[in-house]
């Protein structure tokens, strides 16, 4: 497994971080907005966002009008990598199921008089 995929899975293993990703799918948000929406303390939100940033899942930008405020948004690349990996796993299982079906049909064909 690729290191960045490991980080992606580790970051998304937490329910709160998945909820943050769900919120950010609707667009960029301030950490305080997300903390409020998820009934999480600001320090806890900060810790979750730090994990998501380190995994490359979110990025932060400052606001021109308030240098202290940060806006967070999703980063596409890690999710693209995750999707590619899931597509590979799905292709494997599709192949396994097709092979099983072909085997079952051959066996059934041999049993017919």
Parse the chain into domains and list their residue ranges: 3-111
Whether 1 has a pLDDT exceeding 70, the answer reads no
Considering the domain 3-111 in this protein, what is its CATH number?
1.10.10.10
Whether 113 has a pLDDT exceeding 70, the answer reads no
Q: Mean pLDDT across the stretch 72-89?
A: 88
pLDDT per residue as tens digits for the range 11-34: 999 999 999 999 999 999 999 999
Q: What is the largest CA-CA distance in the chain?
A: 82
Per-residue pLDDT, 68: 72
pLDDT per residue as tens digits for the range 27-57: 999 999 999 999 999 999 999 999 999 999 9
Whole-model pTM? Answer: 0.74
């Amino acid at each position: 497994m690729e290191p960045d995929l490991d980080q992606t899975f580790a970051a998304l293993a937490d329910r709160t971080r998945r909820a943050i990703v769900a919120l950010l799918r609707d667009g960029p948000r301030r950490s305080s907005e997300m903390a409020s929406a998820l009934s999480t303390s600001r320090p806890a939100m900060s810790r979750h966002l730090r994990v998501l940033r380190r995994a490359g899942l979110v990025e932060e930008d400052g606001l021109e009008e308030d240098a202290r405020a940060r806006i967070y948004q999703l980063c596409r690349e890690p999710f693209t990598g995750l999707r590619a990996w899931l597509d590979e796993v799905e292709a494997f299982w599709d192949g396994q199921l097709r092979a099983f079906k072909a085997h079952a049909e051959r066996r059934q064909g041999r049993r017919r008089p």
